[in-house]
């Protein structure tokens, strides 16, 4: 795991500029650094040594004649098989790294190389002879890649903050991203919060040649369920495939550990991985916010040591600016801070951890996936539900009212992902500025169009795999682990596992429980059965435990005077008045404190942006 930076060389101080850009992301790779600069290109690399940890693994790495050069961030788990195949074709290797496999693989296969890879990656290859720059991002978006055209320069990197040191970089806020963010709690399109800076989307590559820039997709999820197998048979297939993925994800020349909460995903990873150490964080002593006791019990049952940390409110609130600095863009997911602390705890003991991200999106784990046909109310004719929903929309926001609003709409109309913070109407109420941001449904429509003929559960999974997973889950996983110079690997996000999951029937992903009333659903049904098979008998309750993740008591803290005052000060600040109608957002805060409404997520979304803006624009 590493960090990469680079730019087309049209400036006079390329050596110093590249060095400054690399220093900005030193946290991604504190073990070594390397540069390549010629009259056309400047490439920089910061290394966290995991495979072939000696100097031979330092980057950039070249082909035999030095005309192909690469900087690479990530891990290729099938690199040994690919290397043998390339050797048989006549390629000569100088190192034992997975990086060099990419160099020779590009020589041999060109862009078709991407279809042969198993791993997480973000890399750029410079072909001196063709004067061509080729860059790619992995299938799910585990590793980030940003790019920008400014002045005469094309710049790219693992983190936007590295661009700040380039003389052609112009720092401007993209206000459209702000309005989109208020709904999604992250930036949901290829645009970023910095004007003219973009993300390379997951499963895409770019080619830059003769100032012509082309971006193309190279892979996509394709749900096409197969009938004929029982759920138990699917569970057996999941078990076999997951064991294989975990073995691949443990390839390293350093020790590997595992994160552990009380949920099935991380417990399954920890049990199968057979690592020596697990890591957990929590808040206080309330079991709603502290999973440490379960994690220690589980670790003891599988014979492993567990390191844990209780995060104090002072620690949490005191590190928010640092979190948003490392995030590059505001992310209003409170669990990102908890993730930072568990990464920090693990980084004191080792360099690599396994984690359970991706299981919910792939196997159907979110509670909202049981919503399409979850109640008797859904039996009413669609026209009646839609009429009631229109009436309910005019009433004040409350949980019961929102139920009728939601049930009156199609999944394409109501679902934008796991977070829906402000509606388009509500975000315009609190915003003072006007932007060109589209309605959320304009953003989600292209994804829904690709699965128009699928059931609602599959539609929601497909959207989450393309938006929520990369925009929230994997963003915080990469940025919080790299902030602590820690490599985080996600064995659920494997092409072989996805290939299997695409075939699993919907009723084996989300099913109605036969043991309770008809409105009770089991999510990740087949995967839970697989996990139950592979975890110790005394911890089998994990397979049916409600998903918590890293629960954070934000709604409680915002009612305490100390933290209420911190947020109110931010809401009434000069920065806030640039963007928001302060009376409206202060009312959200006051109503929450007074118990009139749970506005915690809305408050946190606005507050997080203000923290981020202060870090990058003050």
Q: What confidence category does residue 518 fall into, taking pLDDT thresholds of 50, 70 and 90?
A: very low
Q: What confidence category does residue 546 fall into, taking pLDDT thresholds of 50, 70 and 90?
A: low
The region of weakest confidence among 171-185, 218-232, 283-297 is 283-297
Q: What confidence category does residue 13 fall into, taking pLDDT thresholds of 50, 70 and 90?
A: very high
List beta partners, residue 146: 157, 199
277-282 and 256-259 strand pairing: parallel
Tell me what pLDDT residue 395 has. Answer: 75
Annotation marks residue 343 as catalytic = no
> Encoding tokens for residue 447?
């994804």
Query: What integer is the mean pLDDT of 268-274?
Result: 93
What is the per-residue pLDDT across 306-341, written as a single tens digit (0 to 9) for each? 999 999 999 999 999 999 999 999 999 999 999 999
| pLDDT(517) > 60 | no
| pLDDT(550) > 60 | no
Q: Which of the residues 2, 222, 343, 508 is marked catalytic?
A: 2
Tell me what pLDDT residue 392 has. Answer: 75
The region of weakest confidence among 25-34, 174-183, 193-202, 546-555 is 546-555
Mean model confidence pLDDT for the chain: 91
> Encoding tokens for residue 223?
């749900």
Query: What integer is the mean pLDDT of 388-415?
Result: 77
> Where is pLDDT greater, at 24 or 293?
24
User: Is residue 372 helix, strand or coil?
Assistant: coil
Give 308-359 as a DSSP string: EEEPPHHHHHHTHHHHHHHHSS----THHHHHHHHHHHHHTT-SEEE--TTH
Tell me what pLDDT residue 540 has. Answer: 47
> Encoding tokens for residue 62?
């070249």
| pLDDT(197) > 60 | yes
Angular region, 322: left φ>0, alpha ψ -120 to 50, beta rest: alpha
Distance CA 154, CA 131 (A): 14
Tell me what pLDDT residue 389 has. Answer: 73
All structural domains of the chain, each given as residue ranges with its CATH number in brackets, are: 2-181+191-217 (3.60.20.10), 231-365+466-505+517-537 (3.40.50.620), 554-618 (no CATH)
| pLDDT(539) > 80 | no
Give which of 454, 524, 451 is closest to 492, Cα–Cα.
524
Give which of 72, 1, 79 is closest to 36, Cα–Cα.
72
| pLDDT(551) > 80 | no
pLDDT > 70 in the chain, percent? 93
Cα 200 off chain centre by: 14
Tell me what pLDDT residue 54 has. Answer: 63
What is the per-residue pLDDT across 59-86, written as a single tens digit (0 to 9) for each? 899 999 999 999 999 999 999 999 999 9
| pLDDT(548) > 70 | no
| pLDDT(123) > 60 | yes
| pLDDT(433) > 50 | yes
| pLDDT(269) > 50 | yes
Tell me what pLDDT residue 522 has. Answer: 87
Cα 113 off chain centre by: 24
> Where is pLDDT greater, at 397 or 235?
235
Distance CA 533, CA 23 (A): 47
Tell me what pLDDT residue 401 has. Answer: 74
Angle at 531 between CA 527 and CA 537, to 5 degrees: 150
| pLDDT(547) > 60 | no
> Where is pLDDT greater, at 452 or 552?
452
Distance CA 286, CA 288 (A): 5
């Amino acid at each position: 795991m590493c960090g990469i930076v680079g730019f087309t060389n049209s400036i006079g101080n390329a050596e110093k500029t590249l060095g400054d850009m690399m220093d900005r992301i030193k946290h991604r790779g504190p073990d070594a650094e390397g540069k390549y600069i010629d009259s056309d290109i400047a490439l920089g690399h910061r290394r966290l040594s995991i495979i072939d940890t000696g100097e031979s693994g330092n980057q950039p790495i070249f082909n035999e004649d030095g005309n192909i050069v690469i900087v690479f961030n990530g891990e290729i788990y099938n690199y040994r098989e690919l290397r043998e195949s390339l050797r048989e074709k006549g390629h000569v290797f100088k190192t034992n790294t997975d990086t060099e496999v990419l160099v020779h693989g590009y020589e041999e296969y060109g862009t078709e190389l991407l279809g042969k890879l198993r791993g997480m990656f973000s890399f750029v290859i410079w072909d001196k002879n063709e004067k061509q720059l080729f860059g790619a991002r992995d299938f799910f978006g585990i590793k980030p890649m940003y790019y920008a055209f400014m002045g005469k320069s094309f710049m790219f990197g693992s983190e936007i903050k590295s661009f700040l040191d380039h003389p052609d970089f112009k720092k401007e806020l993209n206000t459209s991203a702000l309005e989109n963010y208020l709904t999604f709690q992250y930036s949901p399109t290829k645009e970023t919060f910095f004007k003219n800076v973009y993300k390379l989307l997951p499963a895409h590559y770019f080619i830059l040649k003769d100032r012509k820039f082309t971006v193309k997709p190279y892979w996509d999820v394709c749900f096409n369920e197969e009938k004929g197998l029982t759920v138990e048979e699917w569970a057996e297939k999941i078990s076999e495939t997951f064991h294989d993925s975990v073995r691949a994800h443990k390839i390293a020349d350093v020790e590997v550990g595992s994160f552990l909460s009380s949920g099935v995903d991380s417990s399954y990873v920890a049990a199968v991985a057979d690592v020596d150490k697990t890591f957990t964080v929590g808040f206080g002593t309330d079991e709603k916010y502290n999973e440490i006791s379960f994690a220690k019990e589980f670790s003891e049952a599988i014979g492993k040591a567990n390191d844990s940390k209780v995060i104090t409110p002072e620690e949490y609130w005191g590190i928010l600016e640092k979190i948003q600095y490392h995030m590059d863009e505001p992310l209003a997911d409170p669990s990102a801070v908890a993730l930072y602390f568990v990464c920090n705890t693990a980084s004191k003991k080792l360099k690599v951890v396994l984690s359970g991200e991706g299981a919910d999106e792939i196997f159907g784990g979110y509670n909202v996936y049981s919503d399409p046909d979850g109640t008797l109310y859904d039996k009413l004719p669609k026209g009646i539900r839609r009429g009631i929903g229109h009436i309910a929309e005019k009433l004040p926001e409350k949980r019961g009212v929102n139920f009728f609003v939601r049930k009156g709409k199609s999944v394409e109309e109501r679902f934008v992902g796991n977070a829906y913070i402000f509606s388009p109407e509500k975000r315009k109420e609190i915003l003072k500025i006007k932007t060109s941001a589209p309605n959320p449904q304009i953003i989600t429509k292209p994804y829904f169009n690709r699965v128009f003929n699928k059931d609602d559960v599959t539609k929601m999974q497909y959207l989450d795999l393309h938006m929520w997973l990369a925009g929230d889950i994997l963003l915080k996983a990469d940025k919080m682990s790299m902030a602590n110079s820690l490599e985080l690997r996600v064995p659920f996000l494997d092409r072989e596992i996805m290939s299997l999951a695409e075939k699993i029937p919907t009723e084996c992903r989300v099913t109605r429980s036969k043991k309770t009333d008809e409105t009770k659903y089991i999510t990740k049904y087949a995967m839970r059965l697989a996990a139950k098979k592979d975890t110790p008998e005394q911890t089998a309750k994990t397979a049916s435990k409600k998903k918590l993740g890293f629960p954070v008591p934000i709604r409680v803290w915002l009612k305490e005077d100390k933290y209420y005052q911190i947020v109110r000060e931010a809401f009434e600040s000069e920065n806030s008045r640039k963007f928001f109608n302060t009376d409206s957002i202060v009312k959200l805060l006051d109503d929450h404190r007074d118990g009139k409404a749970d506005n915690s997520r809305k408050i946190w979304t606005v507050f997080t942006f203000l923290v981020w803006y202060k870090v990058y624009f003050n």
